[in-house]
């Protein structure tokens, strides 16, 4: 039996993990080919739950938000003081139900919609109980495996937030797993708000005003004004105008146009200030043009996280170092934010290399998966060791 007190060579572990190639890739194919747009993840969660049951995970359930949950009980029992480490992979993808989700397996790569974000992360979560059980890797603390729903876009991390709000567990650390990129080490969340601005030409508009009544022109005015917002170099800040939609044909004046955007900053104050500016722009352009302008902000993240020296980051870096993975430090707007809101130190790690994320041709490399997987298990082993003895209060965020 291998316990967490044993020193585990992560390079040996990586080599052992190669024997799970079929299991990981089969789970990736089977789960990844189930469409799971945000708010419709239930079939993918059902798959996860079945995998947990087949691997004899002791407690398996779906909570009221629709998250799939499996708990691998720690060996610490009462001594473990009910502590737990939460491993999370979001189940949803940016692709609609109608997208052809067929994945193609080549000799060195797998490609298809959502294979990287977050098909692979989800498949690894589904395979972890089997791997841990067969390699006899046991933990002192409980390990909670969470397939999170309603994470992306308008989901606004609702799944994981629900779980953390309701959780009876004493969660001391969180690990978010994403398909790509190997080396990603995110331990801080940046401040963010995300939403849509929709311009509508009112029904009562005087259509004899030739050429002026177009929602596209109004949206253009808004875009220009957003572009004029002065953003600071420090703290680092950015405005992403990511998608646009409007009009119906070449020769018809557009009655409606929508801009999808996201504003990110290392500072909550800057985020808040830009949000106020967005509201002012909407009001100003509405009064100037007479168009209806709706500003719908549906996602917020607070900036925050743990420092570089935090033991959770150190344990992950140590695992990466052993596996010769070059850490790439990058703040994140993903599930980390939900952990930060609950004062739980957490990380996001990537599993392999890949490209064309959020494109139908999204693809991942197969070979690096085993290093990425060893990194995740190695980090879990280290975190488990760390929290085995640490006093509860000092485990929390400052």
Partner 1 sequence: MNLQNWINDNTYHHSQFWDLKKLVEEKERQNLKISLCLPTLNEEKTIGKEIILFQSELVKRYPLLDEIAVIDSGSQDKTLEVAKNYGADTYLSSDILPHLEPKRGKGENLWKAIYQLTGDIIVYVDADISNIHPRFVYGLIAPLIYRPEVKYVKAFYDRPLAISGNVRVSGGGRVTEILVRPLFSLFFPELTAMIQPLSGEYAVRRDVLEQIAFPVGYGVETSHLIDVYHKFGMEAFAQTDLDKRVHENKPTVDLGKMSFGILQTFLKRTDALDKIHHTGHETLLRQFQVTKTQYEQNLIEIIEDERPPMIEIPEYREKFHKNKVSG
Give me the residues that bind partner 1 (CB under 8 A), please: 22-23, 25-27, 29-30, 33, 54, 102-107
Q: Which is nearer to partner 1, 21 or 392 (CB)?
A: 21
Structure tokens at 286: 């509405």
- Measured distance CA(240)–CA(228) in Å, rounded: 13
Structure tokens at 6: 């044993």
Shortest distance (Å) from residue 280 CB to partner 1: 50
Structure tokens at 62: 């779906």
- Measured distance CA(194)–CA(301) in Å, rounded: 9
Shortest distance (Å) from residue 106 CB to partner 1: 6
Q: Which is nearer to partner 1, 29 or 219 (CB)?
A: 29
Shortest distance (Å) from residue 112 CB to partner 1: 10
Report the SS3 class of residue 372: helix
Q: Among candidates 57, 87, 117, which has minimal Cα distance to 352?
A: 117
Shortest distance (Å) from residue 147 CB to partner 1: 19
Shortest distance (Å) from residue 13 CB to partner 1: 19
Can you count the helices (H) and strands (E) in the chain?
11, 18
Shortest distance (Å) from residue 73 CB to partner 1: 23
Query: Hey, how many other C-beta atoms are within 10 angstroms of the C-beta on 256?
Result: 17
Judge whether 373 and 24 are in contact, CB under 8 Å.
yes
Q: Which helix (H) or strand (E) holds 147?
A: strand 142-148
Q: Which is nearer to partner 1, 51 or 386 (CB)?
A: 51
Q: Is 183 left (phi over 0), alpha (psi -120 to 50) or beta?
A: left
Q: Which is nearer to partner 1, 79 or 96 (CB)?
A: 96
Q: Which is nearer to partner 1, 55 or 353 (CB)?
A: 55
Shortest distance (Å) from residue 227 CB to partner 1: 44
Instruction: Please give the order of strands across the beta sheet that includes 328-329.
Output: 59-62, 68-72, 142-148, 83-90, 170-180, 346-352, 184-186, 328-329
Q: Which is nearer to partner 1, 49 or 160 (CB)?
A: 49
Q: Which is nearer to partner 1, 25 or 395 (CB)?
A: 25
């Amino acid at each position: 039996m291998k316990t967490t007190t044993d020193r585990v060579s992560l390079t040996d572990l990586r080599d052992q993990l190669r024997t799970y190639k079929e299991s990981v890739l089969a789970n990736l194919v089977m789960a990844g080919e189930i469409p799971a747009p945000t708010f419709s993840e239930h079939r993918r969660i059902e798959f996860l739950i079945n995998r947990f049951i087949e691997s004899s995970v002791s407690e398996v359930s779906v909570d009221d938000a629709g998250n799939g949950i499996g708990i691998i009980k720690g060996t610490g029992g009462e001594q473990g003081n009910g502590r737990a480490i939460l491993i999370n992979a979001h189940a949803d993808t940016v692709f609609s139900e109608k997208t052809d989700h067929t994945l193609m397996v080549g000799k060195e790569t797998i490609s298809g919609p959502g294979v990287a974000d977050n098909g692979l992360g989800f498949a690894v979560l589904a395979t972890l109980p089997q791997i841990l059980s067969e390699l006899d890797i046991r933990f002192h603390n409980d390990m909670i495996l969470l397939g999170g729903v309603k994470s992306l876009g308008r989901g606004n991390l609702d799944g994981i937030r629900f779980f953390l709000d309701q959780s009876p567990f004493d969660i001391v650390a969180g690990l978010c797993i994403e398909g790509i990129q190997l080396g990603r080490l995110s331990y801080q969340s940046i401040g963010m708000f995300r939403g849509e601005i929709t311009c509508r030409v009112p029904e009562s508009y005087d259509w004899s005003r030739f050429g002026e009544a177009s929602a596209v022109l109004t949206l253009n005015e808004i875009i220009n004004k957003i572009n004029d917002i002065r953003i600071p170099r420090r703290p680092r800040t950015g405005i992403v105008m990511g998608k646009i939609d409007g009009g119906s044909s070449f020769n018809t004046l557009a009655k409606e146009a929508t801009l999808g955007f996201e504003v990110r900053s290392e500072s909550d104050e800057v985020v808040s200030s830009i949000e106020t500016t967005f509201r002012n722009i909407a009001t100003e352009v509405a009064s100037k043009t007479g168009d209806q302008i709706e500003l719908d902000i549906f996602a917020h993240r607070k900036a925050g996280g743990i420092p570089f020296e935090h033991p959770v980051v150190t344990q992950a870096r140590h695992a990466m170092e052993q596996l010769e993975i070059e850490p790439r430090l990058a703040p994140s707007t993903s599930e980390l934010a939900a952990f930060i809101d609950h004062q739980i130190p957490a990380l996001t790690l990537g599993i392999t290399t890949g490209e064309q994320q959020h494109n139908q041709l999204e693809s991942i490399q197969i070979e690096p998966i085993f290093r990425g997987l060893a990194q995740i298990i190695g980090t879990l082993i280290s975190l488990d060791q760390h929290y085995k003895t640490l006093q509860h209060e000092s485990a929390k965020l400052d």
